[in-house]
Amino acid sequence: MNYMDYAIEEANKALEKGEIPVGAIVVKAGIIIGKGYNEKEGKKDPTQHAEIIAIKEACANIGDWRLIGCEMYVTLEPCPMCTGAILQSRIGKLYIGTFNKDTGACGSVVNLIDNRNLNSFVNTIWTYDERCSKLLQEFFKRQRQK
Amino acid sequence: MNYMDYAIEEANKALEKGEIPVGAIVVKAGIIIGKGYNEKEGKKDPTQHAEIIAIKEACANIGDWRLIGCEMYVTLEPCPMCTGAILQSRIGKLYIGTFNKDTGACGSVVNLIDNRNLNSFVNTIWTYDERCSKLLQEFFKRQRQK
């Protein structure tokens, strides 16, 4: 399995719970130290996006708020909240599975990751993976059938 | 007391713990339903900003991720993460005590609250209060004396 496979595994857990299927993992030196999937509806908490959950778990695991040298793999382009959290956490590299034309903050709607006026930045690698967008299509298909 | 006084009370708690002094409260129909102060260092968690803590408490109190009809009072202009969380939560009005020229995302560095391409927005009222900026000055003065 490659790392995006694990993020997709997380997104699948969200889909099965009727949440918008987004998954994320944090990797340090080849080891997954945090993972999460979108649980906003189930937890009744707007901050429970995959990326925030994965960051919190990673920080708890290493006992530091600085995720220096860490990478995140996320199935969907992060929103402003999550992109901001990624910047706060000092994650060094971000791999994104598909773009988010509604709230994407890594270039699609706004661009927070390449703004030299903010005091941190993250190297972002777009790794388009059809499985990431298909999961979202499947979710919205199920929603329409309800 | 006015509502900003309560946010300043929260910011003071952060100062006493050696954290950057920022405080926030969420108000619904005149009642404070969430409050928080910056605890990033103490909790070793980059998401533990005042605004996120206040939003999570407010959501837990009302059992909904939607803080519709709620107002937030925050002593410092929110960063991209927190502005994104405020947008996610559907808070209707945001009162800000002072600007943040380093990471402010409500106009100072980037502007996420008045971007018509994002799918939500928040009415923002700047209520400059010298106490909010003085708290920050006091914190950085203490840091330099260490």
Measured between alpha carbons, how far is A132 from B55 in angstroms, rounded to an integer? 29
Domain boundaries, chain B: 3-141
Measured between alpha carbons, how far is B58 from A22 in angstroms, rounded to an integer? 25
Instruction: Supply φ then ψ for residue B71, to 5 degrees.
Output: -125, 145
- Mean pLDDT, range A87-116, rounded to an integer: 95
- Mean pLDDT, range A123-140, rounded to an integer: 96
3-state class (DSSP) for residue A26: strand
- Comparison of pLDDT for A63 and B118, the residue scoring more: A63
Question: Using 50, 70 and 90 to split pLDDT, how confident is the model at A116?
Answer: confident
pLDDT at B59: 98
Per CB-CB distance under 8 Å, the chain B contacts of A112 are 80, 110
CATH of the domain spanning B3-141: 3.40.140.10
pLDDT at B18: 96
pLDDT at B118: 86
Chain A (49-78) residues lying within 8 Å, Cβ to Cβ, of chain B: 49, 52, 55-56, 59-60, 63-67
pLDDT at B120: 76
pLDDT digits (tens, 9 = 90+) for A14-52: 999 999 999 999 999 999 999 999 999 999 999 999 999
The answer to whether A100 contacts chain B (CB < 8 Å) is no
> pTM for the complete prediction?
0.97
The answer to whether the annotation marks A132 as part of a ligand binding site is no
pLDDT at A20: 98
Beta strands in chain A (DSSP E): 23-28, 31-37, 70-74, 93-96, 123-126
Question: Using 50, 70 and 90 to split pLDDT, how confident is the model at A118?
Answer: confident
Active site residues of B: 51
Residue position matching structure tokens 């939607």: B66
pLDDT of A93 strictly over 80: yes
ipTM of the complex in this document: 0.96
Mean pLDDT of residues grouped by 10 in chain B (146 residues)? 96 97 98 98 98 98 98 98 97 97 96 87 95 96 90
